[in-house]
Structure 1
Amino acid sequence: MRTGSEPTTARSALRARFWLSLWGLVWAVFGTVVFVLVGRPGWAAACAALWLVISVDFTMIVRHRRQGPHYQPGRDVPPYWPPEKRRR
């Protein structure tokens, strides 16, 4: 249901972000190790930088998931209703 108030009431799909971040983390680690072994320091540094970014994102996702249904709503949490429009 589109209400027009999505920027203020949007909620992230943390479960999907968790698995995608985990998948990216595995590939970043794999890429870093492979590029170090084949002697490509530039690509290894790029993968290592990506590994760092993904690790920070993964940490934030886990933190938000542990905070409970306010950040990761389940089926028992109703959707937010759009804010009432003010009349002047």
Structure 2
Amino acid sequence: MRSGNEPVTARSPLRLRFWLSLWGLVWAAAGTAVFSLAARPGWAAACGVVALLAAVDLAVVVHHIHQGPHYQPGRDIPPYEPPRSR
């Protein structure tokens, strides 16, 4: 259903973002461990920063998913009009 205001009522694919963040967190944590054992502190720090960013994104996504169907509606919920600011 196209209403012409999709950028305003766009929905984030939170489940996809969840799995991509989890995937990035696992790989960045593994990279941090491997580069630390290989005595490469610069690369270990870079992977650590990426792991931290992935963890923060994962926490935000989980928070939005737990907020309910307003932020992650199912296929049976039609697009909603955004709240009007006063």
Partner of 1:50: 50
SS in 2 for 1:73: coil
Counterparts of 1:74 and 1:54 in 2: how far apart (Å)?
A: 25
Unaligned runs of 5+ in 2: none
Identity of aligned residues (%): 67
Q: Which residue of 1 aligns with 2:6?
A: 6
TM-score by length of 2: 0.85
1:17 counterpart residue number: 17
Measured against aligned partners, the alpha-carbon deviations of 1:32-59 in whole angstroms (never above 9, x if no partner) come to 0000000000000000001111111000
Greater than 4 Å deviation, 4+ residue runs: 1-4
**Number of paired residues?**
82
* Two-structure CA RMSD over aligned residues (Å): 1.7
Larger Rg: 1
Give the corresponding residue for 1:31: 31
Q: Distance in 2 between matches of 1:2 and 1:43?
A: 46
Gaps of 5+ in 1: 83-88
Distance 1:45 1:5 in 2: 43
What letter matches 1:44 in structure 2? Answer: A
Give the Cα–Cα distance (whole angstroms) in 2 for the partners of residues 44 and 67 of structure 1: 35
Alpha-carbon deviation of 1:77?
Answer: 1.0
Whole-Å Cα distance in 2 between the matches of residues 7 and 75 of structure 1? Answer: 18
